[in-house]
Amino acid sequence: MTGCSTTPPVQTTTTDRAQLPKPTVEAFYYDEIQAMLLLYQQHEAWQGTPYRLGGVSRSGIDCSAFVQITFRELFSVDLPRTTDQQLRVGQPINRAQLQSGDLVFFRNGRHVGIYVEDHKFLHASTLAG
């Protein structure tokens, strides 16, 4: 688990994904400062957790499970389990519109993280744990 300080590109959907049914998640609104503080606490709690594809616990976790667990624990929001399913939830936005708690997708939509602030985001890192 790591916090990064680069801004990942915001992923747009492809034609293949556009043909799949879009999962539904109720929109939620959270105070941005409170969301940011909760996300930093989540970083502290999960820092050092090793990356494991398909992992869903502190003994090993992948990026989409970390996002799913974080949203459930911090915001009481149930997101889909996989990165591909999470990519189809919500609306694409420009980088300038990013707010604490927004999902960020990169590596051609194969990796997901959670935006915190100032070009920083949380994700399950294959390199840093």
pTM: 0.78
The answer to whether 129 touches 1, Cβ cutoff 8 Å, is: yes
Catalytic residues: 63, 111, 123
d(C-alpha 119, C-alpha 129), whole Å: 19
d(C-alpha 82, C-alpha 45), whole Å: 22
The answer to whether 104 touches 12, Cβ cutoff 8 Å, is: no
Burial 81-106 (b: 16+ CB within 10 A, else e): ebbbbbbbeeeeeeeeebebbbbbbb
Domains and CATH numbers, the chain: 2-6+30-123 (3.90.1720.10)
Residue-wise pLDDT for 32-83, tens only, equals 999 999 999 999 999 999 999 999 999 999 999 999 999 999 999 999 999 9
d(C-alpha 16, C-alpha 71), whole Å: 26
